[in-house]
Amino acid sequence: MKSLILKLLTTIIALSSVSLFAADSSVDLDTKVTTFLQKAIAPNESYAFEKVVILKKEEMKDIAGWMVYFVRIDLKLTKQEGKKISVNDIVFTNGKILSKDFSDINSGKSIKGNFSLDIDSSAYTKEHLLAGNFNAPHKIVVFSDPLCPFCMDFVPEVIMDVEKNPETFALFYYHFPLNIHPAAPTLVKAMQFAEKQGDKEIVKKVYKEFFDIKESDEKVVLDIFNKALNKNFTVEQINQATILQQMNNDQELANNLMVNGTPTIYLDGKKDDTKRTYRKFIKESK
């Protein structure tokens, strides 16, 4: 539910594609950005604006004179006392103009995916440790969907590399089922329930199966899972509050980091688009 609300709330930032700042040279750029975004929040009876927080900012390497800002917009839910919700976004500015995005002229694709927030040590939890030594010097975090073809290839590979080098790496796994795979949430909940039942190898087992499920009915999907992995889970069991909360927590971290695809890999806190940078440490250790 919260992930749905987050997606809906991204529409409240009422910005045109390109907007002009007020011409006031006495105001620093950070203040210009936060003030502009605050004024851009569309009024709504369901929430009240609280603040805009700059999470990170950096110069754009390919466009001289422009900065990219990672911002968090905090809102109070007026109908739920004490409840808050946050929306993360990226905006671009040269001090006079603020833009929601740029498009690559050759591919037509958004360039927002070229920028990323760092992941902090709070993501390194024993609950999410999949392989390796928790105290190893290099931390790998993967966001993955068990029905993503690229994940099916990558996840077993990185698990194998980490298991062969446990003193070098700690691998942390986060579930991130994609909307294009309607069966993925059921698989994720079944995997999480299996882990709670003591099956610490469930992630490896699922990726070994190479599931290709087109069904969306939860019971049908769960029956496929049960048959393939010799389980007898029920729909009620995998929809326990603790399971749903765990999946929501994974989704919330992904949303906060603006993860939008799988597999997404972080190495020592930095997003790694190559997904293979960790291998240089394997070579160094030999």
Last residue of a domain, one of 84, 114, 144: 114
Could you tell me which of 199, 184, 186 has the C-alpha nearest to residue 243? Answer: 186
Torsion sign (Cα): 268, 244, 180, 55? negative
The answer on 14 and 66 residing in a single domain is yes
The answer on 228 and 146 residing in a single domain is yes
Per-residue pLDDT band for 114 (boundaries 50, 70, 90) equals confident
Compute the C-alpha angle 278/141/155, nearest 5°: 75
The answer on 129 and 261 residing in a single domain is yes
For 139, the 3-state DSSP assignment is strand
pLDDT at 22: 60
Instruction: Establish whether the linkage from the previous residue to 156 is cis, with ω within 30° of 0.
Output: no
Last residue of a domain, one of 83, 98, 114: 114
Is the pLDDT score of 144 beyond 70? yes
Q: What range does the domain containing 84 cover?
A: 2-114
Question: What's the total number of domains in the chain?
Answer: 2
Pairing relationship of beta strands 169-175 and 138-144 according to DSSP bridges:
parallel
**The two three-digit tokens of residue 202, written as one number:** 């469930």
The answer on 254 and 130 residing in a single domain is yes
The answer on 66 and 189 residing in a single domain is no
**The two three-digit tokens of residue 214, written as one number:** 């087109």
Please state the pTM of the whole predicted model: 0.84
The answer on 131 and 109 residing in a single domain is no
Percent of the chain with pLDDT over 70: 89
Is the pLDDT score of 142 beyond 90? yes
pLDDT at 254: 94
Per-residue pLDDT band for 219 (boundaries 50, 70, 90) equals very high
The answer on 143 and 94 residing in a single domain is no
Last residue of a domain, one of 95, 114, 133: 114
Mean confidence (pLDDT) of the chain? 89
pLDDT at 47: 81
